[in-house]
Chains A and B, each alone.
Chain A
Amino acid sequence: MHQVLQTDGTLRAAAPLDVSTTRQLYAAMVAARTYDHKGTTLQKQGRLATYASFLGQEACQIGATGPLRPDDWLVATYRDAGAMWAQGYPWVNLFLGRTGDERGGAAPPDVNVLPPSITVGAHMIHAVGLAWAEQYRGTDRVALTMFGDGATSEGDFHEAMNFAGVFGVPVIFLCQNNHYAISTPRHRQTAAETLAAKADGYGMPGRQVDGNDLFAVYDAVAAAVADARAGGGPTFIEAVTYRLSPHTTADDPGRYRPAAEEEEWRARDPLDRVRRYLEANGEWSPAWQDELEQAAAADVDAAITAAEQLEPLGAAAVFDAVFAEPTPQLLRQRNRAATDE
């Protein structure tokens, strides 16, 4: 397993990033965690529908998107708000989605991030199609798709990997192996020793990296992106991480995993590791940490306020976003809905 930054913050290999970029990515990890805490809190207050936390997976979220260009594609899941935000998807959109408002899915025009996939495993093939279109047009854009260990058991995972391999499209598959799909442990998803081993069967490189190590994730994704941009085709990366939170706010992990296991992983917290590294380099201080947390909280609070202040969609708007122009069927139904109300 590829590791660069050890739990104690010391390097095992050369850092792939200079210190100032590391500081930026650390700030992004802090922002992501701030949003994540807010998500869980707001859900408990009944202000969001179910919330899926990525606590403990911040190195994957921020390390994966770090090497992307702003015009690259990102196709991710309900658990990847941190990555989506890092790729330009505004917090307000993410909150809107979670409050139950379709407008959350409307990324800004220059942000090539699809709305999060709620269906497990069906979206990786979308990234293949997007990357294929870029290849066809001769751009050097790539597509990154993120998914969990459970998603590798879905049939569409196979079809996506297979298409990507056969057509050599510029797509990066980043699997966050967080050890559980709701309650189902990783070893119940596959008898394969590693998920990375699966790449072999599709004729593409597969790498297993420490998913709690910002540098390892960044490193692996950066190499895969460079390869894909240069016409080298797809790469599969298994980032080994752990979801410190429940699956969603509706889940009780006590039913399927020992608390001691959680504690073990808490000791490998991806933020602590980067903080120790920066501190040892004289690049971290408690004051700076406060500053980061306060700035992130202000951003996130502003986003939730903006989301909650938006008037809910009217009945007509519900009918008007099915097709470019409503069909006669929808026009009749829209009128009926208006008279029924």
Chain B
Amino acid sequence: MAQALTAALGHALRSDRDVLILGEDVGTTGGVFRITDGLQTEFGPDRVIDTPVAESGIAGAAFGMAVAGLRPVAEIQFLGFAYPAYDQIVSHISRIRTRSQHRFTAPLVIRIPYGAGIGAAEHHSESTEAIFAHTPGVKVVVPSTPADAAGLLLTAIADPDPVIFLEPIRSYRRVRGEVADPPRPVAFGEAAVRRSGTDLTLVAYGAMVPDTMDAADDLAVAGIEAEVLDLRTLVPLDYDTLLDSANRTGRVVLVQEGHRTCGFAAELAATIQEEALYSLLAPVTRVTGWDTVVPLRRAEHHYVPSPERIAAAGRAVMEA
């Protein structure tokens, strides 16, 4: 997935001079995850900009650039370090269109690696996407495959509105797959059906998709055919695919790595009960991280939903 993202950024920089990249260590070293590797050499330090260590400054400067008509792609090193930028996101980036009634807009992308799984230090394993989904005026994208990562990133850069682009850290090297050259844009608001099934629906996004697929394989061994939906974008949300699947299977397990309370799964569960209640054969169930600080490396496995926990939830809704 890492290479797919690099390819997409290179393609975007090559196709449009208004695109530029800014962030901490994105230039000379190519970023802490090497996603921007080689781009400064190809496009120069004016387009791939190493900034001071200042997340609010990065977001705020990107905002100004975007209002002036550029297409900045900012990188924040880890989601746990995006909070200083949150004020710029919630107070300005997400609102300028409303505040100016379309006169000024902020078509920028903020790329942020997120999620647990590499046993890093505190603050390096956050999955707080719900905060952004809760923020009016920003789109929230969470890819799970290399082709989606590249394709959704191109769509994000071309989008007329600000996009929070969350990259699953543990998928960077682990998830592999073909990507067209140049990558093909992937539309927002279209969930992917990763596996068809008739017995129950498993809904996931980002880093949880591979684990959810593993859980579906486990369930299949027991004769349970799960459909796996990959939401790809939380904002905009593909209601049709979600509700269609819920109506067909009548059993839904929602998977999210983020903290449980007010997580995105809660929004999905509420929507399903509002709009598909009479199709349901079992309560809608969530498999989530907990309302705890994400534990450090040695205890992290207690937190992140595992294929086993997902499969167990699947069996439970089948028995309900």
Contact = CB atoms under 8 A, between A and B. Distances in A.
Interface of A: 73, 75, 102-103, 105-107, 109, 114-115, 119, 122-123, 125-134, 136-137, 143, 155-156, 159-160, 162-163, 166-167, 321-324, 327-329, 332
Contact of A129 (B65, B87, B189): B65
Contact of B65 (A75, A103, A132, A322): A132
Nearest to A324: B160
Contacts of B69: 133
Contact of A163 (B61, B72, B98, B238): B61
B100 A107 contact: yes
A130 B64 contact: yes
Given A114-B67, A128-B57, A156-B87, 20 more contacts: A102-B101, A106-B103, A114-B100, A114-B104, A115-B96, A126-B60, A126-B92, A129-B60, A129-B66, A129-B72, A130-B68, A133-B69, A136-B70, A143-B64, A156-B60, A324-B97, A324-B160, A324-B161, A327-B237, A329-B237
- Residue from A107, A134, A163 having most chain B Cβ neighbours under 10 A: A163
B103 A155 contact: no
Contact of A133 (B64, B104, B105, B160): B64
Contacts of B70: 133, 136-137
B236 to A, nearest CB: 4
B301 interface: no
Contact of B56 (A73, A115, A159, A166): A159
14 contacts: A106-B101, A115-B100, A122-B56, A122-B60, A123-B92, A126-B92, A127-B64, A128-B60, A129-B60, A136-B20, A155-B84, A323-B139, A327-B236, A328-B236
B57 A106 contact: no
Chain A, interface SS category = helix
Contacts of B105: 324
A321 B65 contact: no
Nearest to A161: B57
A162 B57 contact: yes
B67 A159 contact: no
Interface in B217-273: 235-239
B60 A134 contact: no
Contacts of A73: 68
B168 interface: no
A106 B100 contact: yes
Contacts of B98: 102, 321-322
A311 to B, nearest CB: 14
Contact of B64 (A125, A155, A332): A125
Contacts of A322: 97-98, 136-137
Interface size range of chain B in the complex: 35 or more
B177 interface: no
B26 interface: no
B102 A129 contact: no
Interface string B37-65: 00000000010010110101100111111
B88 interface: yes
A322 B291 CA distance: 31
A162 B54 contact: yes
B99 A155 contact: no
B271 to A, nearest CB: 9
Contacts of B99: 102, 105, 115
Contact of A159 (B57, B65, B66, B91): B57
Contact of A160 (B60, B66, B92): B60
A137 to B, nearest CB: 8
Contacts of B20: 136
B46 A136 contact: yes
Contact of A323 (B56, B64, B103, B137): B137
Closest 8 CB pairs of A and B: A129-B64, A125-B60, A159-B57, A133-B68, A327-B236, A129-B61, A324-B160, A106-B103
A156 B84 CA distance: 10
Interface in B128-152: 136-137, 139
Interface in B105-120: 105
Given A122-B88, A328-B236, A163 B101 contact: no
